[in-house]
Amino acid sequence: MADSRGGPLVLGIETSCDETGVGIVRGHTLLADAVASSVDEHARFGGVVPEVASRAHLEAMVPTIQRALKDAGVAASDLDGIAVTAGPGLAGALLVGVSAAKAYAYALGKPLYGVNHLASHICVDQLEHGPLPEPTMALLVSGGHSSLLLAPDITSDVRPLGSTIDDAAGEAFDKIARVLHLGFPGGPVIDRYAREGNPDAIRFPRGLTGPRDPVYDFSFSGLKTAVARWIEAKRAAGEEVPVADVSASFQEAVVDVLTRKAVRACKDNGVEHLMIGGGVAANSRLRAMAERRCEDAGITLRVPRPKLCTDNGAMVAALGAEMVARGRAASDWDLSADSSLPVTEPHVPGEAPAAPAGHHHGHDHVHEMSKHNLYS
């Protein structure tokens, strides 16, 4: 191990959706974050097409690994381990990364760590703000996930408090952008329009915020329908749709529910730190509202820079480095790509040596990423 130089040197591979990511970290220090995205190839379909993503991963895999090594200025032979997203995600896409990571680790004679995509989204904050407080509360929001997770130990103990019961937050952005003819992906463009609009112009519903609703779960399907109906009614009446106001009011409804529930989860569980990750964490209104509400509640907010919030290899490397640092068991060569890997399993240890104590949680299957084409 490489502690004398500032922690384990780990390369991480991420292919759970449409980004081919390869990152290299040394402990909590980011050395390289190479990403090849196939997002442009999906744009005309209005959503991520799994087979298109998988084909792009195969083409980009080796060049992206080599670019990361070059950016980091390290030799592959100096690596202490190879980490890879084992799940959850698109099955065929995950399989390319897992196969590459195995071949890479095997050829270099290094240990392999199959890790959980969601835990990686949390752990990446170590590269931005140093060691994760224990416990950390995490709000993960993207096109694939919307969940509240409590992480007493990111390498062995991650507990799901709540998640979306229908659409992911990012999906709702994509769908509303489509109704408004704004293109794909929807998050950045709605954020941009919303800056010109009035967030209080239209009062859209806040899903699952009633007194008898599940406290930490999310629902964005009703909101999506309400916004679409509102737009259609305007169009039917021959009126112009106020795109900026609709964007701002829709975004406000999403962000209000996300931050309200996240802060509530921190208070209920006596947690003083909230981290927000996932692609939607790049949303400027989410950041602003979370900052204000956390400050009011005396909670320290940690949001990594946008490039670390979207899917990337650095987050996988960050969690892999933590696995090495804490002596967690490596994965076996028959590691599977598991499209519905439960969030309660931060990594997939091999059979051989027993994992250290502390690995004792239930197997609630939290399906975070849709396994299917958005349009199937």
Partner 1 sequence: MLLLALDTATPAVTVALHDGSGVLAESRQVDARRHGELLLPAVDRVLAEAGRKLDAVSDIVVGVGPGPYTGLRVGLVTAATFGAVLGVPVHGLCTLDGLAHASGLTEPFVVATDARRKEVYWARYEPGATPRPATRLTEPAVDRPADIADEVAGVPAVGAGALLYDTVFTGVRRDGPEHQSAAALAALAAQKLAAGEEMLPPQPLYLRRPDAQVPANYKVVTPR
Binding site for partner 1 (CB under 8 A): 43-47, 49, 51-52, 54-55, 57-58, 61-62, 65-66, 76, 91-92, 95-96, 98-100, 102-104, 106-108, 178, 181-184, 189, 192-193, 333-337, 373, 375
Q: How far is the CB of 230 from partner 1 (least distance, A)?
A: 18
Out of Zn ion, partner 1, none, which partner does residue 214 contact, by CB within 5 to 8 A per kind? Answer: none
Q: Is 283 annotated as a binding residue?
A: yes
Q: C-beta of 310: minimal distance to partner 1 in Å? A: 19
144 belongs to an annotated ligand binding site? yes
The response to whether 187 counts as a known ligand-binding position is yes
Cβ closest to Zn ion, residue 191 vs residue 311: 311
Nearest to 109 by CA among 84, 85, 83, 82: 82
Task: Give me 344's structure tokens.
Answer: 């309660």
Q: Which is nearer to Zn ion, 69 or 341 (CB)?
A: 341
SS3 content of the chain, % helix, strand, coil (to 5): 45, 20, 40
Picked from Zn ion, partner 1, none, the partner binding residue 311 (CB below 5 to 8 A depending on kind) is: Zn ion
- Residues binding Zn ion (CB under 5 A): 142, 311
Is there a contact between 224 and 257 (Cβ–Cβ < 8 Å)? no
Question: Is residue 233 packed enough to be buried (19+ CB in 10 Å), middle (13-18) or exposed (0-12)?
Answer: exposed
Smallest gap from Cβ 76 to partner 1, in A, equals 7
98 marked ligand binding residue = no
Closer residue to partner 1 (CB): 66 or 225 = 66
Which is closer to partner 1, CB of 150 or CB of 177? Answer: 177
Least Å from the CB of residue 277 to Zn ion: 8
**336 annotated binding-site participant:** no
Identify what 189 binds: Zn ion, partner 1, none; CB under 5 to 8 Å per kind: partner 1
* Contacts of residue 158, Cβ cutoff 8 Å, sequence gap at least 6: 116, 118, 119, 122, 149, 150, 151, 343, 344, 346
Q: Does 52 appear as a known binding residue?
A: no
* Residue among 142 and 219 whose Cβ is closer to Zn ion: 142
Residue closest to 278 by CA, chosen among 173, 86, 101, 143: 143
The C-alpha angle with vertex 199 and arms to 231 and 206, in degrees rounded to 5, equals: 75
Beta strands in the chain (DSSP E): 9-14, 19-26, 29-37, 81-87, 112-116, 136-141, 146-153, 157-163, 273-277, 300-302
Across the beta sheet with 146-153, the strand order is: 157-163, 146-153, 136-141, 273-277, 300-302
To the question of whether residue 174 is assigned a binding role by annotation, the answer is: yes
- Positive or negative: CA dihedral 334, 335, 340, 344: positive
**Between 289 and 337, whose beta carbon lies closer to partner 1?**
337
Q: Which does 182 bind (CB under 5 to 8 A by kind): Zn ion, partner 1, none?
A: partner 1
Residue 374, SS3 per DSSP: coil
Binding residues: 117, 121, 140-144, 174, 187, 191, 283, 311
